[in-house]
Amino acid sequence: MDGILLVDKPYGITSNDLTVKVRKKLQEKVGHTGTLDFAATGLMILTVGKATKLTEYFQGLDKEYIAVGELGKITDTYDKEGKILEQRECKISKDQLIETIKSFQGTYPQYPPPFSSKRIKGKRAYQLAKKGVEVQLKPKIITVSKIDILSVDLPFFEIKVSCSSGTYIRTLIKEIGDKTSCGAYLFSLRRTRIDGYHIDEALPLESLLKMSVGQIKDMIIPLEKSIRFLPKVILDEGFDKRFLYGQRFKVPFDKIGLVQVFGKGGDFLGIGEIDSQDILKPQKVFL
């Protein structure tokens, strides 16, 4: 039972709790490739069995979210789970709001929210924030490649955001609120896409837990089909064994960077990296 499982996370459960539930159901090693907030719903990619060795390769993929923000309120967590710190009168037109939202497309540094899972000297930022400790989080360069305005019904607005890994939508909504001088918080959040994996392919957690292990096994995307985002190379006979034994060697492929590696017979051998000298170096192998 080796591969990835696409799961639709429900509201009100942590990513770790979801992973534990699936692990107990399958009685198999299961890992997740990136967290979703307790109050968020949507797509999670779980790695199962031998695929847990590939978790790191999924963590930097671009994401897509549908988010609803409400203007006129500021919370300590930047979402509706937090305490309201301030309420403001908000006088802004629909066109002004749309122009402000669109201004956040681009690449720029973004500060994580104080209530986040970032670690500070071994402690999670949210653990310190709950104790009233002021946390100093470092900004990260993120890219918001596209924002679509789905609806505006003031004080609410709904947007679809395509962005780089590590982007905090809670912070984005707060920043939109700051720029309008109205303040804003994240009312709801749903992750709809991770790179080429879409929420339409995912199983709702509640449905998954009612299925038999055999039925779930049929829904697992096998190793050889799971890493859609990396180019594929096929090694000639003899070189497959060299790859599995961890040897480096020159290859005739016009590719640089990470690749998924297959043998002539179609067996998935693992992940390798081709350098500028056309040398293939094994990264993860599956004997």
Domain boundaries defined on the chain: 3-60+196-225, 63-194, 230-285
Query: Contact, 70 vs 156, CB < 8 A?
Result: yes
Q: Residue 231 class from Cβ within 10 Å (0-12 exposed, 13-18 middle, 19+ buried)?
A: middle
Q: Is 265 helix (H, G, I), strand (E, B) or coil?
A: coil
Return the pLDDT at 137. Answer: 72
Matching fold, domains 3-60+196-225 and 230-285 = no
CB 144 within 8 A of CB 126: no
- Active site (catalytic) residues: 37
Residue type, 19: T
The predicted structure's pLDDT at residue 1: 83
Topology classification of domain 230-285? 2.30.130
Q: Distance between CA 271 and CA 250 in Å, rounded?
A: 16
> Which pTM does this prediction carry?
0.90
For the purposes of burial, counting CB atoms within 10 Å of the CB of 106, is it exposed (0-12), middle (13-18) or buried (19 or more)? Answer: exposed
Query: Is the Cα torsion angle 133, 138, 142, 148 positive or negative in sign?
Result: positive
What does the pLDDT read at residue 120?
A: 46
Please check whether the domain covering 3-60+196-225 is classified as CATH 1.10.10.10.
no
Return the sign of the alpha-carbon dihedral for residues 190, 194, 199, 202: negative
Q: What is the pLDDT of residue 115?
A: 60
Contacts of 135 (CB under 8 A, 6+ apart): 114, 120, 125, 128, 129
What pLDDT sits at residue 135? 64
CATH class of 63-194: alpha beta
Q: Which residues of the chain have pLDDT under 50?
A: 120-121, 123-129, 131
SS3 content of the chain, % helix, strand, coil (to 5): 25, 40, 35
